[in-house]
Amino acid sequence: MSPHHDGNDESIPDNHIFVLFGATGDLARRKVLPGLFHLAEAGLLPAKYRIIGSAPTRFAVTTEEFRRSTREAIEKFGTTKPTDATWSSFEATLSFASANSDGSGELIDAISHAEQEIGADTRRLYHLAIPPNAVIEIVRMLGSSGLNHNARVICEKPFGTDLSSARSLNAVISANFDESQIFRIDHFLGKESVDNILAFRFANELFEPIWNRRHVSYIQIDVPETLSIEGRADFFEHTGTFRDMVVTHLFQVLGFVAMDQPSSLTAGPLRDEVCRFFASIKTIDPDFVVRGQYDGYRDEPGVDPNSQTETFIALRVEVANDRWEGVPFYLRTGKCMAESRQIVTIGLHEPNAHLFPVTNDAQHRRGNMIVIDFADPGSIHTNFLAKLPGPSMFLGPAEMTFDYKDSFCAANNLEAYEHLIRECMLGNQTLFTRSDGIERLWEIATPLLDHPKPIEIYSKGSWGPKSSASVVAPHKWYLPHG
């Protein structure tokens, strides 16, 4: 549930030309093209639109080949499968045009032709589903060619690899597009279950009054993954888990979890509060960080046999503001771990009055806790202690649960990329990252990047290095659930 979209939202974007750079790449095939087809079938695309796939001349395909590969991608990865009846109208919107960083190629003429078909006031939306080293050249080309007029641009992570590169990237993009035209996409923020954090906090007087240091003992964001780097050594060796997952995904979720209440859920006030929270995060102390690497990572094709790239990271973050001073935030994520989960855990203080006998049953510690599972479809669990049946006052764990799959019609759901692409077309930046927020996150990460802790090897299928328990001490990781 985004601030501006639910199953009954009938907002229709302006007419659009959607240009997909990297149209033959993995991201386009897995997410973007199937997502566009689902939006079309749901009636959520503009009344008139064209989709132009693009790539450098050396990777160009014909329009017929692009249409054929797009249908294959939708059949393989899409939630909505094409049929002869549903495919023909969508197929007619698809074309392919080459584009090179020097402005040569077919793209300028293809956009002009599409505008003549649709109308002069048609908006342009560029999705840069391309490697980071190609982004700057394409952005400059769009600016020098005049294609940045009446346009918006979707930028994929990583948004730099450190403070210096982030500033350089932002400088190039802002020289060719106004900040109001720039949509830095993080698919975690398009998830219904992440957006629901805003509703859970700010629409319920039951919870928001306790969302502070007087009641909260700690907060965890835990995103273990069972998958490996899956053949992405060229990218991963130069990026690592901290840059790939923490700066983009985990910190962005943390912003929703911990920011102060905005005056409204429109883009300006909400992003102001997120960035204000980022500004209050203290510089990361490398002494409260554990970096790990799964056993066998160095045997992956393309990986340095002496690689010091982390596939796992656990860290403690501290905040200097009135709401959270003294409350530790624990972040953990890694590859080849025991489970794939996406969990926010808010641990509440134990009551001061010792009215109840303490047992040796470790499960009684599962009380006083709110657990938000933001893996699709998502759920929220409030864990508390209740009296066990019997003559004596002994406590046991109890739970109240909200589960998306049992509570709302699944047909209303959009996948994260679908949701965010539509928000781009509507011009709503609420769920997109701002340049100053990104630069602040790289700033607080500088000591960790400059002085990384040594790598610790961990077994595949484990919960990472055993020393990661020291990061969260005296608390424990919620996962594995015991």
The alpha-carbon radius of gyration of the chain (Å, integer) is: 24
DSSP 261-299: PPSSSSHHHHHHHHHHHHHHBPPP-GGGEEEEEETTGGG
What's 187's DSSP letter? Answer: G
- A 10 A CB-CB count for 326 gives 10
Q: What is the pLDDT of residues 36-95, one digit of tens each?
A: 999 999 999 999 999 999 999 999 999 999 999 999 999 999 989 999 888 999 999 999
**Which pLDDT band holds residue 398 (cuts at 50, 70, 90)?**
confident
pLDDT digits (tens, 9 = 90+) for 276-320: 999 999 999 999 999 999 999 999 999 999 999 999 999 999 999
Topology of domain 189-472, CATH: Dihydrodipicolinate Reductase; domain 2 (3.30.360)
Q: Give residue 359's pLDDT band: very low, low, confident or very high (50, 70, 90).
A: low
Max distance between CA atoms of the chain, in angstroms, equals 83
The answer to whether the beta carbons of residues 477 and 220 sit under 8 Å apart is yes
The pTM for the full model equals 0.91
pLDDT grade, residue 362 (50/70/90)?
Answer: very low
Does position 257 have pLDDT exceeding 70, yes or no? yes
Residue type at 368 in one-letter notation: N
Per-residue confidence band for 407, with pLDDT thresholds at 50, 70 and 90: low
* Predicted pLDDT of residue 4: 40
pLDDT for residue 390: 84
Domain ranges of the chain: 16-156, 189-472
| Nearby residues of 442 by Cβ (< 8 Å), 6 or more positions away | 160, 162, 163, 166, 247
Predicted local distance difference test score (pLDDT) of residue 2: 41
The larger pLDDT score, comparing residue 481 to residue 378, is at 378
Of 1-10, 30-39, 244-253, 276-285, which range is least confident? 1-10
Q: Is the pLDDT of residue 225 over 60?
A: yes
- CATH superfamily name and code, 16-156: NAD(P)-binding Rossmann-like Domain (3.40.50.720)
Question: Residue 365 has what pLDDT?
Answer: 55
Give the Cβ contact number of residue 431 at 10 Å: 30
The answer to whether the peptide bond before residue 480 is cis (omega within 30 degrees of 0) is: yes
One-letter identity of residue 348: L
- The per-residue pLDDT for 202 is 93
- Asked if 419 is an active-site residue, the reply is no
Catalytic residue among 5, 249, 349, 451: 249
Supply the pLDDT for residue 8.
Answer: 46
Pinpoint the alpha helices (H) of 94-209.
107-118, 132-144, 163-176, 192-202
E strand or H helix that includes residue 316: strand 312-317
Reported as a single tens digit per residue, the pLDDT across 319-330 is 999 999 999 999
Please check the confidence at residue 338 and state whether its pLDDT lies above 70.
Answer: yes
Ramachandran assignment for 417, one of left (phi > 0), alpha (psi -120 to 50 degrees), beta (any other): alpha
Are the beta carbons of 108 and 145 closer than 8 angstroms? yes
Model pLDDT for residues 410-419, shown as the tens digit of each residue: 555 789 999 9
DSSP for 147-169, written as a single string: TTTTEEEEEPSPS-SSHHHHHHH
- Evaluate whether 223 touches 330 at the Cβ level (below 8 Å): no
Q: Are 288 and 315 in contact (CB under 8 A)?
A: yes
Per-residue pLDDT at 363: 45
User: How far is CA 364 from each of CA 383, 392, 474, rounded to the nearest angstrom?
Assistant: 10, 15, 17
